[in-house]
């Protein structure tokens, strides 16, 4: 049985240092995996704010800083900080226009992250 920890929503807002500390602690206590994720919106990001406001019942401004939106390149750039902090599992919760856009966009983000120096360091370090 694999047992891991999914970090609370918004942990990235507390800073890269906090995220890196959580990664180190999970490794110290030998958890099988540690994941985090944020809602993302591909393309123009217009669907993200109303979706998150309807789910969490608070203004989107609370989430905006750590909820990537844009093209896969934009999202990968934002999520690259997670890899730089030591995360090697990032779960993306896309707000997409259709069933085809979500997997294609997330796969594009994965390809971009796999090619990033931080990602290579996290998987080999």
Query: What is the reported pTM?
Result: 0.61
* Contact between residue 90 and residue 82 where contact means Cβ atoms under 8 Å apart: yes
Q: Is the pLDDT of residue 16 over 70?
A: yes
| Euclidean distance between the first and the last CA atom of the chain, given in angstroms as a whole number | 24
39-89 pLDDT per residue, tens: 666 666 677 888 888 888 999 888 887 788 888 898 888 888 888 888 777
Q: What is the mean pLDDT of residues 96-113?
A: 80
Structural domain boundaries in the chain = 4-119
Task: Give pLDDT, residue 73.
Answer: 92
Of the two residues 121 and 107, the one the predictor is more confident about is: 107
Confidence of residue 1 (pLDDT cuts 50, 70, 90): very low
CA–CA gap between residue 52 and residue 48 (Å, rounded)? 6
The region, left, alpha or beta by phi > 0 then psi within -120 to 50, assigned to residue 90 is beta
């Amino acid at each position: 049985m694999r047992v891991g920890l999914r970090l609370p929503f918004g942990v990235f807002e507390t800073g890269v240092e906090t995220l890196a500390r959580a990664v180190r602690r999970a490794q110290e206590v030998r958890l099988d995996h540690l994941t985090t994720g944020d809602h993302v919106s591909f393309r123009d990001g217009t669907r993200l704010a109303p979706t998150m406001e309807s789910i969490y019942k608070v203004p989107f401004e609370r989430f905006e800083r750590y909820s990537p939106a844009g093209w896969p390149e934009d999202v990968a750039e934002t999520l690259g900080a997670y890899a730089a902090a030591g995360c090697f599992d990032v779960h993306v919760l896309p707000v997409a226009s259709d069933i085809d856009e979500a997997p294609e966009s997330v796969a594009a983000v994965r390809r971009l992250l796999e090619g990033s120096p931080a990602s290579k360091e996290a998987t080999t370090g």
